């Protein structure tokens, strides 16, 4: 299938950044409020990629979903999600087993909505604004990103898709992600959408 290649083809070098998306307790720990099935295994697979990336001199950067107590992102405030990743709480912390070897970009800090590590959206005006991620990557001389983490059908998908118009070539390592699958098949639809947007999905 177009855009699908074997894992061993993922190649890290100094112009590559591994973007580790939202490996936080609320998504990755079975006790988390929005636990993604397989989340703990994703932390383990992300760690293996982080080690490979660092050995090749690649850059590693992390994103963190970071919400105020009330936000239209949450079901109780008009959105669709249970309360999760509230600033300063255990659920918002990066998983304790995750190897942290680079900067972390928090998204949603001002109550903005959206899933991408590159952009956030004002829930009132609908205006999109950039996070520091693209600037951090450009500053580091990055041309290619490899995206892993949680969740495939939300923040991994949005982050990888946004990397392309931001000027980076982008790949997603399927085995180092897991999907929420609110609807069965959301994972495969996410992969199809990524492929159509020019992201290489590596199985
Ligand atoms: C995410 C749902 C709500 C994610 C964040 O990190 O994929 N999913 N907020
Ligand atoms: Zn969220």
The b/e string for 38-67 (b: 16+ C-beta within 10 A; e otherwise) is: bbbebbebbbebbeebbeeebbbbbbbbbb
Q: Kindly list the protein residues whose Cβ atom lies closer than 6 A to any atom of ligand 1.
A: 22, 27, 65, 81, 115, 150-151, 154-155
At 152, which CATH number?
3.40.50.850
Partners of 172 in the beta sheet? 147, 201
CA–CA separation, 85 and 64 (whole Å): 8
Q: How far is CA 66 from the centre of its chain?
A: 13
Q: Is the pLDDT of residue 5 over 60?
A: no
Pocket test for ligand 1, best of 154, 186, 190 (most atoms within 8 A of CB): 154
As a whole number, mean pLDDT of residues 128-154 equals 97
Quick one: which of 31, 109, 101, 99 has its CA closest to 64?
109
Instruction: Enter the pTM of the model.
Output: 0.95
- pLDDT for 167-182, tens place per residue? 999 999 999 999 999 9
CA of 11 to the centre of ligand 2 (A): 30
Q: Is the pLDDT of residue 10 over 90?
A: no
CA of 195 to the centre of ligand 1 (A): 20
Q: Is the pLDDT of residue 195 over 80?
A: yes
Going by CA atoms, what residue is nearest to atom 4 of ligand 1? 155
As a whole number, mean pLDDT of residues 20-34 equals 98
Going by CA atoms, what residue is nearest to atom 6 of ligand 1? 155
- pLDDT for 65-124, tens place per residue? 999 999 989 999 999 999 999 999 999 999 999 999 999 999 988 888 789 999 998 878
* CB of 134 closer than 8 Å to CB of 95: no
β-strand 119-121 against 128-130: which pairing, if any? antiparallel
User: Rounded to the nearest 5 degrees, what angle is found at the Cα of 61, between the Cα atoms of 146 and 26?
Assistant: 95
Locate the ligand 1 atom nearest the alpha carbon of residue 154 and give its number. Answer: 7
CA–CA separation, 139 and 154 (whole Å): 26
Structural domain span for residue 150? 3-202
Domain count, the chain: 1
DSSP for residue 2:
T
């Amino acid at each position: 299938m177009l855009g699908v290649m074997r894992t061993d083809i993922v190649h890290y070098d100094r112009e590559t950044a591994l973007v580790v998306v939202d490996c936080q307790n609320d998504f990755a720990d079975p006790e988390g409020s929005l636990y993604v099935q397989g989340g703990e295994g994703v932390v383990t697979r992300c760690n293996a990629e982080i080690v490979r990336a660092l050995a090749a001199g690649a850059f590693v950067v992390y994103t963190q979903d970071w919400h105020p107590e009330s936000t239209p992102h949450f079901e109780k405030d008009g959105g669709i999600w249970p309360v999760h990743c509230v600033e300063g709480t255990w659920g918002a912390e990066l998983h304790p087993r995750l190897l942290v070897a680079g900067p972390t970009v928090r998204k949603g800090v001002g109550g903005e909505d959206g899933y991408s590590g590159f952009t956030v959206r004002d829930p009132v005006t609908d205006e999109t604004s950039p996070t520091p991620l693209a600037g951090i990557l450009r500053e580091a001389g990055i041309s290619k990103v490899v995206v892993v983490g949680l969740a495939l059908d939300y923040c991994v998908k949005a982050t990888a898709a946004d990397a392309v118009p931001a000027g980076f070539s982008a790949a997603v390592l399927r085995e180092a992600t897991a999907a929420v699958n609110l609807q069965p098949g959301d994972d495969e639809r996410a992969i199809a959408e990524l492929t159509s947007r020019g992201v290489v999905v590596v199985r």
